[in-house]
Amino acid sequence: FSGATWHINGSRLSLESDSSNEDYQDWESGWVIEFEAGTYTLADSFDVGQNSAAAPGDRIRIQAASGAVSRPIIQQTSGNRYPFRPFLPVEVSGMKFTTTVTASAYGVAITFGPVVFDDCVFDLAGSGASYCLQANGASCVIVNCYITGGDIGLQLTGSRDGCSVQNCVFDGKGTEFLTAAIQIGGKEHGINIDSCLVLDSDGDGIRIVSLALNDTMVSVTNCTIVDCDGDGIVYDDTGAGGTVGNSLSIRNNLIAYNGLYGLLHDGPDDTNNVLQGNAVYSNTSGNYSGFFIAGDGAVTLTADPFTNRASDDYTLNNTAGGGALLREAAYPATLPDGT
Protein backbone atom coordinates (compact mmCIF):
# COMPACT_ATOMS: atom_id res chain seq x y z
CA PHE A 1 0.00 0.00 0.00
CA SER A 2 1.09 3.56 -0.63
CA GLY A 3 2.06 4.29 3.00
CA ALA A 4 4.52 1.40 3.19
CA THR A 5 7.55 3.65 3.07
CA TRP A 6 6.49 5.81 6.00
CA HIS A 7 4.26 3.74 8.29
CA ILE A 8 4.86 3.38 12.03
CA ASN A 9 8.29 1.77 12.66
CA GLY A 10 9.28 2.72 9.13
CA SER A 11 10.72 5.96 7.79
CA ARG A 12 8.52 8.95 7.02
CA LEU A 13 9.68 11.09 4.14
CA SER A 14 8.09 14.40 5.16
CA LEU A 15 7.24 16.49 8.20
CA GLU A 16 3.95 17.50 6.63
CA SER A 17 2.27 14.36 5.30
CA ASP A 18 -1.16 15.77 6.18
CA SER A 19 -1.49 19.51 5.63
CA SER A 20 -4.51 19.77 7.94
CA ASN A 21 -2.87 17.85 10.79
CA GLU A 22 0.91 17.72 10.50
CA ASP A 23 2.70 14.75 12.02
CA TYR A 24 4.56 16.74 14.66
CA GLN A 25 1.31 18.09 16.14
CA ASP A 26 0.54 14.57 17.39
CA TRP A 27 3.90 13.84 19.00
CA GLU A 28 3.63 13.03 22.71
CA SER A 29 5.78 13.29 25.86
CA GLY A 30 8.50 10.66 25.95
CA TRP A 31 8.60 10.12 22.18
CA VAL A 32 11.96 10.05 20.39
CA ILE A 33 11.85 11.42 16.84
CA GLU A 34 14.94 10.50 14.79
CA PHE A 35 15.97 12.03 11.47
CA GLU A 36 18.25 10.43 8.91
CA ALA A 37 20.53 12.62 6.82
CA GLY A 38 18.68 14.80 4.33
CA THR A 39 16.63 17.99 4.05
CA TYR A 40 13.13 18.09 5.49
CA THR A 41 11.12 21.08 4.28
CA LEU A 42 8.72 22.98 6.50
CA ALA A 43 6.16 25.45 5.15
CA ASP A 44 4.25 26.01 8.38
CA SER A 45 4.75 26.50 12.12
CA PHE A 46 6.64 23.69 13.87
CA ASP A 47 3.89 23.12 16.48
CA VAL A 48 5.37 20.16 18.34
CA GLY A 49 2.82 18.33 20.51
CA GLN A 50 0.01 20.79 19.82
CA ASN A 51 -2.72 18.13 19.85
CA SER A 52 -1.58 16.42 23.04
CA ALA A 53 -4.24 16.30 25.77
CA ALA A 54 -1.87 14.75 28.31
CA ALA A 55 -0.08 16.68 31.04
CA PRO A 56 3.58 17.35 30.20
CA GLY A 57 5.81 14.43 31.12
CA ASP A 58 9.20 13.36 29.77
CA ARG A 59 10.66 15.52 27.04
CA ILE A 60 10.03 14.90 23.39
CA ARG A 61 13.46 14.27 21.88
CA ILE A 62 14.07 15.41 18.30
CA GLN A 63 17.46 14.20 17.16
CA ALA A 64 19.71 12.99 14.40
CA ALA A 65 19.63 9.22 14.02
CA SER A 66 22.73 7.51 15.40
CA GLY A 67 23.67 6.32 11.91
CA ALA A 68 23.03 9.61 10.09
CA VAL A 69 25.97 10.30 7.76
CA SER A 70 25.46 14.08 7.99
CA ARG A 71 23.47 16.52 10.09
CA PRO A 72 19.75 16.38 9.14
CA ILE A 73 18.37 19.75 7.95
CA ILE A 74 14.97 21.26 8.68
CA GLN A 75 14.45 23.99 6.09
CA GLN A 76 11.84 26.75 6.11
CA THR A 77 10.39 27.23 2.62
CA SER A 78 7.61 29.80 3.02
CA GLY A 79 6.29 32.52 5.33
CA ASN A 80 8.23 35.37 6.83
CA ARG A 81 9.18 33.62 10.05
CA TYR A 82 10.02 30.16 11.27
CA PRO A 83 7.96 29.54 14.46
CA PHE A 84 9.15 26.71 16.70
CA ARG A 85 6.30 26.24 19.17
CA PRO A 86 6.70 23.24 21.47
CA PHE A 87 3.52 22.71 23.48
CA LEU A 88 5.39 20.12 25.57
CA PRO A 89 8.98 20.11 26.88
CA VAL A 90 11.32 19.40 23.95
CA GLU A 91 15.03 18.67 23.50
CA VAL A 92 16.53 19.03 20.02
CA SER A 93 20.00 17.64 19.29
CA GLY A 94 22.21 17.14 16.26
CA MET A 95 19.94 19.07 13.86
CA LYS A 96 20.47 21.98 11.46
CA PHE A 97 17.97 24.76 10.71
CA THR A 98 18.09 26.74 7.45
CA THR A 99 15.75 28.73 5.20
CA THR A 100 15.14 29.46 1.54
CA VAL A 101 13.07 32.55 2.38
CA THR A 102 14.78 35.86 1.60
CA ALA A 103 11.99 38.47 1.53
CA SER A 104 10.72 39.81 4.88
CA ALA A 105 12.45 36.94 6.63
CA TYR A 106 12.82 36.66 10.41
CA GLY A 107 14.33 33.38 11.57
CA VAL A 108 13.73 30.58 14.07
CA ALA A 109 11.38 31.94 16.74
CA ILE A 110 10.98 29.89 19.93
CA THR A 111 7.65 30.41 21.67
CA PHE A 112 6.12 28.32 24.46
CA GLY A 113 8.40 25.61 25.78
CA PRO A 114 10.61 24.93 27.68
CA VAL A 115 13.07 23.84 25.03
CA VAL A 116 16.69 22.65 24.93
CA PHE A 117 18.86 22.93 21.81
CA ASP A 118 22.04 20.85 22.08
CA ASP A 119 24.64 20.48 19.30
CA CYS A 120 22.50 22.25 16.69
CA VAL A 121 23.35 24.57 13.79
CA PHE A 122 21.28 27.64 12.92
CA ASP A 123 22.47 28.97 9.55
CA LEU A 124 20.46 31.79 8.02
CA ALA A 125 23.45 33.53 6.43
CA GLY A 126 22.48 35.50 3.33
CA SER A 127 18.74 35.36 4.06
CA GLY A 128 18.46 38.96 5.24
CA ALA A 129 16.61 37.73 8.32
CA SER A 130 15.97 40.15 11.17
CA TYR A 131 17.34 37.49 13.53
CA CYS A 132 18.72 33.99 13.16
CA LEU A 133 17.31 32.65 16.44
CA GLN A 134 14.85 34.32 18.81
CA ALA A 135 13.66 33.13 22.22
CA ASN A 136 10.50 34.97 23.18
CA GLY A 137 8.05 33.78 25.82
CA ALA A 138 9.61 30.49 26.96
CA SER A 139 12.55 29.40 29.06
CA CYS A 140 15.31 27.74 27.06
CA VAL A 141 18.77 26.23 27.13
CA ILE A 142 21.02 26.66 24.09
CA VAL A 143 24.22 24.68 24.44
CA ASN A 144 27.02 23.70 22.06
CA CYS A 145 25.33 25.36 19.07
CA TYR A 146 26.64 27.29 16.03
CA ILE A 147 24.68 30.39 15.00
CA THR A 148 25.17 32.57 11.94
CA GLY A 149 22.96 34.89 9.89
CA GLY A 150 20.49 37.68 10.51
CA ASP A 151 20.77 41.28 11.69
CA ILE A 152 20.84 39.72 15.17
CA GLY A 153 22.25 36.24 15.75
CA LEU A 154 20.34 35.47 18.97
CA GLN A 155 17.60 37.75 20.28
CA LEU A 156 16.39 37.20 23.86
CA THR A 157 13.35 39.35 24.42
CA GLY A 158 9.97 39.47 26.09
CA SER A 159 9.01 37.83 29.40
CA ARG A 160 10.38 34.46 30.42
CA ASP A 161 11.71 32.48 33.36
CA GLY A 162 15.26 32.55 32.10
CA CYS A 163 17.63 31.41 29.39
CA SER A 164 21.08 29.82 29.50
CA VAL A 165 23.43 29.99 26.50
CA GLN A 166 26.60 27.93 26.89
CA ASN A 167 29.56 26.87 24.76
CA CYS A 168 28.13 28.36 21.55
CA VAL A 169 29.79 30.02 18.57
CA PHE A 170 28.27 33.18 17.07
CA ASP A 171 29.99 33.64 13.72
CA GLY A 172 29.20 36.92 11.95
CA LYS A 173 31.45 36.01 9.01
CA GLY A 174 32.11 39.76 8.67
CA THR A 175 28.79 40.37 6.89
CA GLU A 176 26.17 39.13 9.38
CA PHE A 177 24.86 40.45 12.72
CA LEU A 178 24.39 44.04 11.53
CA THR A 179 22.97 44.99 14.96
CA ALA A 180 24.61 42.47 17.28
CA ALA A 181 25.54 38.81 17.60
CA ILE A 182 23.44 38.61 20.80
CA GLN A 183 20.79 41.13 21.85
CA ILE A 184 19.08 41.00 25.25
CA GLY A 185 16.12 43.18 26.13
CA GLY A 186 12.78 43.32 27.90
CA LYS A 187 11.76 41.50 31.07
CA GLU A 188 14.19 38.62 31.13
CA HIS A 189 14.50 37.62 34.82
CA GLY A 190 17.72 35.61 34.42
CA ILE A 191 19.98 35.39 31.37
CA ASN A 192 23.31 33.57 31.44
CA ILE A 193 25.77 33.77 28.53
CA ASP A 194 28.69 31.50 29.38
CA SER A 195 31.80 30.19 27.59
CA CYS A 196 30.78 31.42 24.13
CA LEU A 197 32.86 32.65 21.20
CA VAL A 198 31.49 35.76 19.47
CA LEU A 199 33.41 36.77 16.35
CA ASP A 200 33.24 38.93 13.24
CA SER A 201 29.92 40.61 14.04
CA ASP A 202 29.07 43.39 11.61
CA GLY A 203 27.65 45.25 14.65
CA ASP A 204 28.17 44.76 18.39
CA GLY A 205 29.18 41.54 20.07
CA ILE A 206 26.64 41.49 22.93
CA ARG A 207 24.06 44.28 23.14
CA ILE A 208 21.88 44.74 26.26
CA VAL A 209 19.10 47.27 25.71
CA SER A 210 15.92 48.62 27.37
CA LEU A 211 15.67 46.19 30.27
CA ALA A 212 12.40 46.20 32.23
CA LEU A 213 12.30 47.87 35.64
CA ASN A 214 13.60 45.78 38.58
CA ASP A 215 13.23 42.47 36.82
CA THR A 216 16.42 41.55 35.06
CA MET A 217 19.69 39.80 35.86
CA VAL A 218 22.17 39.33 33.01
CA SER A 219 25.41 37.40 33.45
CA VAL A 220 28.16 37.22 30.80
CA THR A 221 31.08 35.00 31.84
CA ASN A 222 34.06 33.26 30.27
CA CYS A 223 33.33 34.51 26.74
CA THR A 224 35.69 35.61 23.98
CA ILE A 225 34.33 38.57 22.00
CA VAL A 226 36.59 39.51 19.13
CA ASP A 227 36.74 41.28 15.76
CA CYS A 228 33.29 42.88 15.96
CA ASP A 229 32.80 46.14 14.05
CA GLY A 230 30.89 47.72 16.96
CA ASP A 231 31.39 47.43 20.73
CA GLY A 232 32.35 44.17 22.39
CA ILE A 233 29.69 44.46 25.12
CA VAL A 234 27.33 47.44 25.29
CA TYR A 235 24.61 48.20 27.84
CA ASP A 236 22.36 50.84 26.24
CA ASP A 237 19.56 52.19 28.42
CA THR A 238 19.40 55.68 26.92
CA GLY A 239 15.78 55.16 25.89
CA ALA A 240 14.63 52.88 28.69
CA GLY A 241 13.26 55.63 30.93
CA GLY A 242 15.30 54.43 33.91
CA THR A 243 15.84 50.80 34.83
CA VAL A 244 16.90 50.95 38.48
CA GLY A 245 17.19 47.56 40.15
CA ASN A 246 18.61 45.51 37.30
CA SER A 247 21.93 43.72 37.67
CA LEU A 248 24.70 42.98 35.19
CA SER A 249 27.50 40.57 36.04
CA ILE A 250 30.36 40.60 33.51
CA ARG A 251 33.22 38.35 34.56
CA ASN A 252 36.29 36.65 33.11
CA ASN A 253 35.71 37.60 29.48
CA LEU A 254 38.35 38.27 26.81
CA ILE A 255 37.34 41.29 24.70
CA ALA A 256 39.72 42.26 21.90
CA TYR A 257 40.07 43.84 18.45
CA ASN A 258 36.57 45.34 18.39
CA GLY A 259 35.91 48.39 16.20
CA LEU A 260 34.50 50.65 18.95
CA TYR A 261 34.75 50.16 22.73
CA GLY A 262 35.51 46.93 24.50
CA LEU A 263 32.79 47.58 27.13
CA LEU A 264 30.38 50.52 26.87
CA HIS A 265 27.68 51.63 29.32
CA ASP A 266 25.62 54.13 27.36
CA GLY A 267 23.08 55.82 29.62
CA PRO A 268 22.52 56.75 33.29
CA ASP A 269 24.17 54.93 36.19
CA ASP A 270 20.99 53.08 37.13
CA THR A 271 22.13 49.46 37.14
CA ASN A 272 24.12 47.32 39.56
CA ASN A 273 27.13 46.53 37.37
CA VAL A 274 29.76 44.06 38.58
CA LEU A 275 32.83 43.69 36.36
CA GLN A 276 35.57 41.31 37.50
CA GLY A 277 38.47 39.54 35.86
CA ASN A 278 37.88 40.77 32.30
CA ALA A 279 40.79 41.01 29.87
CA VAL A 280 40.90 43.67 27.14
CA TYR A 281 43.16 44.37 24.20
CA SER A 282 43.26 46.66 21.17
CA ASN A 283 39.65 47.87 21.10
CA THR A 284 39.73 50.83 18.72
CA SER A 285 37.80 53.45 20.72
CA GLY A 286 39.09 52.28 24.10
CA ASN A 287 38.58 49.43 26.51
CA TYR A 288 35.97 50.93 28.90
CA SER A 289 33.48 53.78 28.55
CA GLY A 290 30.55 55.21 30.51
CA PHE A 291 29.90 53.63 33.90
CA PHE A 292 31.73 50.43 33.04
CA ILE A 293 35.08 50.31 34.85
CA ALA A 294 37.74 47.64 34.88
CA GLY A 295 36.81 46.21 38.30
CA ASP A 296 38.61 43.63 40.44
CA GLY A 297 41.10 41.29 38.82
CA ALA A 298 41.04 43.10 35.47
CA VAL A 299 43.77 42.28 32.96
CA THR A 300 45.08 44.75 30.38
CA LEU A 301 47.01 42.84 27.76
CA THR A 302 50.05 44.29 26.03
CA ALA A 303 50.29 41.69 23.24
CA ASP A 304 48.01 39.67 20.99
CA PRO A 305 46.75 36.73 23.11
CA PHE A 306 45.59 34.46 20.26
CA THR A 307 47.34 31.55 18.57
CA ASN A 308 46.31 32.57 15.03
CA ARG A 309 43.61 35.22 14.84
CA ALA A 310 43.84 35.45 11.03
CA SER A 311 42.67 31.84 10.83
CA ASP A 312 40.01 32.23 13.55
CA ASP A 313 42.11 30.23 16.01
CA TYR A 314 41.32 32.03 19.25
CA THR A 315 43.08 29.63 21.60
CA LEU A 316 45.62 31.31 23.88
CA ASN A 317 49.25 31.62 22.79
CA ASN A 318 52.19 31.66 25.20
CA THR A 319 53.31 35.21 24.43
CA ALA A 320 54.35 37.32 27.42
CA GLY A 321 51.77 40.06 27.96
CA GLY A 322 49.37 38.12 25.72
CA GLY A 323 48.07 34.60 26.15
CA ALA A 324 50.60 33.77 28.87
CA LEU A 325 49.19 36.57 31.03
CA LEU A 326 45.72 35.02 30.90
CA ARG A 327 46.59 31.52 32.03
CA GLU A 328 45.17 30.86 35.49
CA ALA A 329 44.12 34.52 35.64
CA ALA A 330 40.38 34.05 36.15
CA TYR A 331 38.76 35.83 39.12
CA PRO A 332 38.63 34.62 41.84
CA ALA A 333 41.79 32.54 41.70
CA THR A 334 40.67 29.88 44.19
CA LEU A 335 37.51 28.26 45.50
CA PRO A 336 36.41 29.24 49.01
CA ASP A 337 37.62 26.88 51.76
CA GLY A 338 35.21 27.90 54.52
CA THR A 339 37.77 29.56 56.79
What does the DSSP assignment read for 295-323? Answer: -BT-EE-SS--EEEGGGTEEEE---TTTH
Report how far residue 11's alpha carbon sits from residue 190's, in angstroms, rounded to the nearest whole number: 40
Highest mean predicted confidence (pLDDT) among 32-36, 234-238, 244-248: 32-36
What is the per-residue pLDDT for 52? 81
| More confident site: 179 or 126 | 179
Under the phi-then-psi rule, with left for phi > 0, alpha for psi from -120 to 50, and beta for the rest, what region is 212? beta
Is the model's pLDDT at 10 over the cut of 70? no
- Give the separation between CA 147 and CA 159, rounded to whole angstroms: 23
Q: Which residue has the higher pLDDT, 251 or 77?
A: 251
Residue 80 binned pLDDT confidence (cut-offs 50, 70, 90): low
Alpha helices for the chain (secondary structure H): 323-326
Average pLDDT on 192-214 reads 89
CA distances from 17 to 42, 78, 257 (A): 11, 16, 50
Q: pLDDT higher for 3 or 11? A: 11
Q: Is 324 a residue whose pLDDT tops 80? A: yes
Residue 188 has pLDDT above 60, yes or no: no
Q: Which residue has the higher pLDDT, 305 or 24?
A: 305
Average pLDDT score over residue span 147-157: 92
**pTM attached to this predicted model:** 0.91
Per-residue pLDDT band for 1 (boundaries 50, 70, 90) equals: very low
Provide CB contacts within 8 A for 275, sequence distance 6+: 250, 251, 263, 292, 293, 294, 295, 298
**What are φ and ψ of residue 4, in 5° steps?**
-60, -30
Higher model confidence: residue 238 or residue 289?
A: 289
* 185: confidence class by pLDDT, cuts 50, 70, 90: confident
Would you call 26 helix, strand, or coil by DSSP? helix
Query: Could you report the per-residue pLDDT of 114-126, keeping only the tens digit for each?
Result: 899 999 999 999 8
**pLDDT digit string (tens) for 30-64?**
999 999 999 988 887 888 888 887 777 788 999 99
